[in-house]
Homo-oligomer: A and B are copies of this chain.
Amino acid sequence: MTEPAGIGLDELQLAARNHGMPLEMLREPVTPVGLHYLLIHYDVPQVDAASWRLTVDGLVTHELALGLDDLRAFAPHEVVATMECAGNGRARLDPRPVSQPWLLEAVGTGRWRGARLRDVLEQAGVASGTVELVFTGLDRGVENGEEESFQRSLPLELALEPGVLLAYELNGAPLPPQHGFPLRLLVPGWYGMTNVKWLSRISAVDTPFEGYQQAHSYRLRQTEDDPGEPLSRILPRALMVPPGIPDFMTRERLLPRGVVTIEGRAWSGHAPVTAVEVSTDGCATWDAARLDDDDLGPWAWRRFTYAWDARTAGTHVLSCRARDAAGNEQPVDASWNVGGYANNAVQHVVVNVR
Contacts and interface: CB of A to CB of B under 8 A. Distances in A.
Nearest to A212: B248
A313 to B, nearest CB: 15
Given A142-B246, A177-B32, A13 B103 contact: yes
A298 to B, nearest CB: 26
Given A16-B103, A17-B20, A33 B246 contact: no
A20 B10 contact: no
Contact of A43 (B24, B44, B147, B249): B24
A22 interface: yes
Nearest to A28: B177
Contacts of A10: 249-251
A16 B13 contact: no
Interface in A27-46: 27, 32-36, 38, 40-44, 46
Contacts of A142: 245-248, 252, 254
A127 interface: no
A105 interface: yes
B17 A43 contact: no
Interface string A1-34: 0011111111111111101101111010000111
Contacts of A242: 43
Given A7-B8, A19-B34, 13 more contacts: A4-B9, A5-B6, A12-B15, A12-B91, A13-B103, A13-B251, A17-B22, A22-B40, A33-B176, A42-B245, A42-B246, A142-B246, A142-B247
